[in-house]
Amino acid sequence: MTLSTVTLVLVALLAFAQLAVASPSRFGTRGDHKQRAAKGDKYLIGVGKADITGPVVEINFGGYASTDQVGTGLRQRLYSRAFIIGEVGNPKNRFVYLVLDTQSGDTALRNGILEGVAALGSAYSAYGKSNIAVTGTHSHSGPGAWFNYLLPQVTSLGFNKQSYQAVVDGAVLSIKRAHESLQEGYLDFGTTKITGANINRSLYAYLANPAAERAQYADDVDKELTLLRFQRASDLKSIGVLTWFPTHGTSMLGNNTHVSGDNKGVAAYLFEQSVKGSSGATDGFVAGFSQANVGDTTPNVLGAYCDDGSGQMCTLETSVCGDGKSQSCHGRGPLFQKLDLGVSSCFEIGQRQFAGARSLYDSLDSTSTPVVGSTIRSFHYFQDMQYYKFPLSNGTVVQTCPAALGYSFAAGTSDGPGAFDFTQGDSGAPNNPLWQVVSGLLRVPSAAQTACQQPKPVLLDVGEMSAPYAWSPNIVDVQTLRVGQFLIIVSPTEASTMAGRRWRDAVKSAATSLSLTGSASPYVVIGGPANTYAHYVVTPEEYTIQRYEGASTLYGMWTLPAFINLTLQALPHLAPGATSSPASGPSPPDNRKNSLSFQTGVVVDGTPIGQSFGQCTGQPKAQYARGAVVNATFVGANPRNNLRLEGTFAAVERKDGGAWKRAKDDEDWSLVYTWTRTNFVLGYSSVTIGWETGAEDVAGTYRIKYYGDAKPLIGSIKPFEGTSGEFSLV
Ligand SMILES: *[C@@H]1O[C@H](CO)[C@@H](O)[C@H](O)[C@H]1NC(C)=O
Ligand SMILES: *[C@@H]1O[C@H](CO)[C@@H](O)[C@H](O)[C@H]1NC(C)=O
Ligand SMILES: *[C@@H]1O[C@H](CO)[C@@H](O)[C@H](O)[C@H]1NC(C)=O
Ligand SMILES: *[C@@H]1O[C@H](CO)[C@@H](O)[C@H](O)[C@H]1NC(C)=O
Ligand SMILES: CC(=O)N[C@H]1CO[C@H](CO)[C@@H](O)[C@@H]1O
């Protein structure tokens, strides 16, 4: 520490002490709620939540890019959570932050959402491309096949309209609900350290950053969670919270085939459950757990080990095992001993984020920073990253490149080895009909591209391939939102820990020098992956290491400085009084109409002779002790016939006097729906509904319900219900 920093700290401490004396109400202690008067400025605030669960069977999951990971059922429905913040005096100035339980935001989804909101009519004219941010929680356990670009469509055999439409419709509905709930209220925020929910999965690359820079941080991943609280003015009840914390949505392993929102989905569910019926929160309370600088983080906090019998950890430098390959290197979640495809570890990592967020929430009345300053602004523009030239801070002019993936991309990470298995297929084409169509179109990178991407050895020159349509985005979304002193960088990439820090710091210091936030110090978070999926961004130093994240930094060594330059350039548009927007930039290609699609639809559902749809063929036992798994099996039909959005496939009902009351449904983590095809030709299938009971469940008499829809060969799809026999839980 230099002398001047010491002086500064002393001055700050003195100022704080004086303030504390001058206005005790502002710094009241815990339990001292009534004394705290300062609430910051008033805003229009609204929250909304809606179901986005696409086809839960027979569609490949988005995230691990493994052709084999195809849905067989549902553990927890997926949601869109919408948060709207607007100026009271000028309601045109507002933004929408969406948190989708998806792998990422995406150009196809974003286009669909913008069109859907526009179709809601003139009351929604304040919402548009500048002020809607479409972020994903980065769950790797939801149906994919909604991506705009060809590369992430490969493992899902193309684009699937039903999968896409479910996300779009639910996102639009969540915005509608948030809009309808708009009212005056306050915002405040706080931070807390979450231990045990993330570690660094690319430490070797992180260590390439300058020692002096690393020395500024206690941890090699960000452990801080930021929580923004939405409180309505009328009675100071909370209507929602929005949090940011980085950890990959890879707690559920790559061989899990049940849909879920992974650890962020668990955290949001636990938070929303925890405030049900509490006097401080409203009925429609929504908890958003948004992703942050997630790039090099993993929820597999015990570290990465070789599943080859050696018991060794994978190598630091390249994450390989004794055979020199990455295939047997797997990250271990906190409860990895439970061989349940990551379910227990996933719940635990979700629980750890929830617990931290909840205790922070409980302390906010005495510890939070109020959001102040009436200004709400946002900007969004498109930037073509092909050979974008700009100066680094030392004046040297550098450039970005057309998108490309390096060799390490094929090796994957310890969270999921061997992404895009086709790249490993040295014996020829893998068994993937889409790949057979497009693999002939692979090209050798141009000389300019090869030079530009140095030192990345190019494996897939995706940015220079546009046949049959673009493989990856070259045109990216640049977006930032601002309410009072709170700024949100909306990143299309998964930023590494240090990349996120540099990006946030650059925005913070530029906002300070532009005096964007008046007397309040700017506070900056980064949310994503959002708006389109542009893979990763690492620091230039990390890029030279070319691990998975560096190999997946699409636009070359200078991608991060370019994103920072592009964000800072437009920052003046967030100033109070600013009325202009940046030029909207070139439009990215819209591949929704021309995408290939090799998935087949449902042909027919049938039942074995003598059986009927919904018939319970595997009854539960008469009695279970709490902690046991209750199973019931039914004659089933394909759930793709009707997604039952805002509804449920499975339920547990409890006998309450003479009536049956619903105790669990598809939203509950402990209720698991599994669909199995038993005869392909005749369309027979069975459904097993499993209820993992626990100590928290009340003893009583229960039954299991199954809701399905069957498709005859001719005629329309018909709904049906199944009901198990009664059983008691003791
Ligand atoms: C799922 O994958 C994990 C990690 O690769 C492995 O340890 C486990 O045995 C697999 N489980 C099944 C049922 O295949
Ligand atoms: C960003 O790059 C442009 C050139 O493309 C340059 O004119 C501008 O000064 C840079 N802005 C910042 C904030 O670095
Ligand atoms: C500016 O910084 C970059 C990145 O560290 C470096 O490659 C370049 O040589 C520097 N330029 C000058 C003039 O020092
Ligand atoms: C319940 O059903 C699931 C899914 O079919 C199965 O994996 C599990 O073994 C069954 N459990 C019991 C206790 O029967
Ligand atoms: C603070 C932290 O999470 N450190 C971890 C970074 O990654 C290495 C290797 O995976 C771990 O050993 C550290 O514990």
Q: pLDDT tens for residues 667-677?
A: 999 999 999 99
pLDDT of amino acid 437: 74
Please say whether the beta carbons of 543 and 457 come within 8 A.
no
**Ligand 2 contact, 569 CB (< 6 A):** yes
Instruction: Identify the pLDDT of residue 418.
Output: 57
581 and 573 in contact (C-beta within 8 Å)?
Answer: yes
pLDDT score for 270: 98
Burial annotation 641-664 (CB, 10 A radius, 16+ → b, else e): bbbbbeebbbbbbbeeeeebeebb
75 CA to centre of ligand 5 in angstroms? 30
Q: Does ligand 4 come within 6 angstroms of the Cβ of 688?
A: yes
Confidence class for position 438, pLDDT limits 50, 70, 90: confident
Given a cut of 90, whether residue 91 has pLDDT beyond it is: no
**Predicted structure pTM score:** 0.93
Q: Is 307 in the pocket of ligand 1 (CB under 6 A)?
A: yes
pLDDT, position 431: 58
Question: In angstroms, rounded to a whole number, what is the distance separating the alpha carbons of residues 219 and 215?
Answer: 9
| DSSP 8-class letter at 162 | H
Is the peptide bond preceding residue 712 cis, with omega within 30 degrees of 0?
no
**DSSP strand pairing (258-259 vs 70-74):** parallel
Banded pLDDT at 38 (limits 50, 70, 90): low
- Structure token pair of residue 6: 């010491």
What tokens does 478 get? 């640049």
Q: Verify whether ligand 1 is closer than 6 Å to residue 255 (CB atom).
A: yes
DSSP 267: H
CA 321/CA 307 separation, integer angstroms = 9
Listed range (29-43, 379-393, 587-601, 695-709) with the worst mean pLDDT: 29-43
Question: Cα of 257 to ligand 5 centre, how many Å?
Answer: 28
**What residues form DSSP beta bridges with 192?**
225
pLDDT at residue 32 greater than cutoff 60: no
Per-residue pLDDT, averaged over 135-149, amounts to 98
Distance from the CA of 571 to the center of ligand 3, in angstroms? 25
Q: Is residue 107 within a helix (H) or strand (E), and if so which, with residue range?
A: helix 107-118
Reported as a pLDDT band with limits 50, 70 and 90, residue 3 is: very low
Q: State the burial class of residue 77 (Cβ atoms within 10 Å of its Cβ: 0-12, 13-18, 19+).
A: buried
Arithmetic mean of pLDDT, 126-142: 98
Please state the rounded mean pLDDT for residues 582-590.
98
Residue 477 · residue 528 · CB < 8 Å: no
DSSP 64-76: S--TT-EEEEESS
Pocket test for ligand 2, best of 388, 390, 399, 573 (most atoms within 8 A of CB): 390
**610 DSSP assignment:** T
622-632: buried (b, 16+ CB within 10 Å) or exposed (e) per residue?
eebeeeeebbb
- Give, in order, the Cα–Cα distances in Å from 472 to each of 138, 552, 592, 712: 18, 11, 14, 40
pLDDT band at 31 (very low <50, low <70, confident <90, very high): very low
Asked whether 482 lines ligand 1 (CB < 6 A), one says no
pLDDT at 461 over 50: yes
Return the best residue to mutate from 255, 319, 336, 337 for the ligand 1 pocket (most ligand atoms within 8 A of CB): 255
pLDDT at 35 over 90: no
Residue 6: band (very low, low, confident or very high) from pLDDT cuts 50, 70, 90 = very low
Are the C-beta atoms of 401 and 449 separated by less than 8 Å? yes
* Residue 391 CB coordination number (10 Å): 11
Among the ranges given (77-86, 270-279, 307-316), the one the predictor scored with the smallest mean pLDDT: 307-316
**Secondary structure (3-state) at 46:** strand
Q: What pLDDT does residue 253 have? A: 95
Best probe residue, ligand 3, of 209, 213, 396, 560 (max atoms within 8 Å of C-beta): 396
Q: Which residues of the chain are in CATH 2.60.40.2300 domains?
A: 616-729
Cα(565) to centroid(ligand 2), Å? 6
Residue 536 confidence (pLDDT): 98
Contact between residue 156 and residue 59 where contact means Cβ atoms under 8 Å apart: yes
The answer on whether 248 is annotated among ligand-binding residues is yes
Ligand nearest to the CA of 339: 1
**Best probe residue, ligand 1, of 253, 302, 674 (max atoms within 8 Å of C-beta):** 253
Q: What is the pLDDT of residue 570?
A: 98
pLDDT tens, 620-630? 999 999 999 99
Q: What is the percentage of the chain residues whose pLDDT exceeds 90? A: 85
- Indicate if the pLDDT at residue 24 is higher than 90: no
How much distance in Å is there from the Cα of 639 to the middle of ligand 4?
19
Whether the CB of 398 sits within 6 Å of ligand 3: no
At 22 the pLDDT is 33
Which helix (H) or strand (E) segment holds residue 231: the answer is strand 224-232
Q: Is 383 in the pocket of ligand 2 (CB under 6 A)?
A: no
The whole-angstrom separation of Cα 484 and Cα 686 is 54
586 CA from centroid of ligand 2 (Å): 18
User: CB–CB of 532/107 below 8 Å?
Assistant: yes
Q: Supply the mean pLDDT for the chain.
A: 92
- DSSP state letter for 457: P
Q: Tokens representing 660? A: 């049956």
Poorest-confidence range of 125-129, 277-281, 439-443, 691-695? 439-443
Is 262 a residue whose pLDDT tops 70? yes
Q: Average pLDDT for residues 4-28, to the nearest whole number?
A: 36
DSSP 35: G
Statement: residue 8 has pLDDT above 60:
no
Asked if 547 contacts 202 with a C-beta cutoff of 8 angstroms, the reply is yes
Q: Is the pLDDT of residue 591 over 50?
A: yes
Among 29-33, 193-197, 215-219, 220-224, which stretch is predicted with the lowest mean pLDDT? 29-33
DSSP 548: H
Tokens of 556: 């070359």
Mean pLDDT of 117-145: 97
The CATH number of domain 616-729 is 1.10.275.10? no
* Band of pLDDT at residue 25, cut at 50, 70 and 90: very low
Query: Looking at residue 9, what is its pLDDT?
Result: 38
138 annotated as a binding-site residue: yes
Question: What residue owns the CA closest to ligand 2's atom 12?
Answer: 565
Task: Identify the band that residue 706 occupies on the pLDDT scale cut at 50, 70 and 90.
Answer: very high
How remote is the CA of residue 539 from the centroid of ligand 3, in Å?
14
**What pLDDT score does 441 carry?**
79
pLDDT at residue 121, rounded to an integer: 97
Dihedral angle computed from the Cα positions of residues 706, 708, 712 and 717, in that order, rounded to the nearest 10 degrees: 150
How far away, in angstroms, is 155 Cα from ligand 3 center? 40
Does residue 308 register a pLDDT over 70? yes
CA R_g for the chain? 26
CA 54 – CA 64 distance, rounded (Å)? 17
CA–CA distance, 536 with 446 (Å, rounded to integer): 22
